[in-house]
Copies of this chain bind each other. A is one copy, B any other.
Amino acid sequence: MADELPGMTLKAIGIVRNAVKQPLKQGWENVVSEIVVKSSLTEALDNLDEFSHIIVLYWMHQVAGSKSPAKVHPMGKPEVPAVGLFATRSPHRPNPIGKTTVRLLKRQNNILTVEGLDAIDGTPVIDIKPYLPRYDSATNAKAAPWIAKQ
């Protein structure tokens, strides 16, 4: 399998602006951020504010280029046994893409104000999608028991 197909290069469509300069261990739920989208994409944001929630994909630039281990301790807690990397949301992934569902508080031209985005100031945003409850949520989903320990 080719590792890098032609064209698998990302363009930033915007950038995160908030007061968080280093990753938090917790408390992201209440962080309010602005997503400043490239002004050339302003029209493509029309109608987004008809949704209460949006999905933000972003590039975790601070860890990009770091090694991705096969196993990690969930939430970095040594007391929780290490599990496979892809069974966690660790940022140290082969492709450091973060995916967060956030509340959309406001859209003003090319600026989105959102609540709950767990990305630090300056993070490049690579996609924005409307959150579609029936498509994006799973009914009767079961998570691993060690998730509750986090």
Contact = CB atoms under 8 A, between A and B. Distances in A.
A105 interface: no
Number of copies: 2
Interface in A51-78: 51-53, 55, 57, 59, 61, 64-65, 68-71
Given A1-B15, A86-B48, A136 B133 contact: no
Contacts of A24: none
Contacts of A23: none
A141 B147 contact: no
A43 B71 contact: yes
A19 interface: no
A5 B124 contact: yes
Contacts of A138: 52-53, 101, 103, 131, 133, 137
Contact of A5 (B14, B61, B101): B61
B124 A143 contact: no
Contacts of A53: 138, 141-142
A125 B55 CA distance: 19
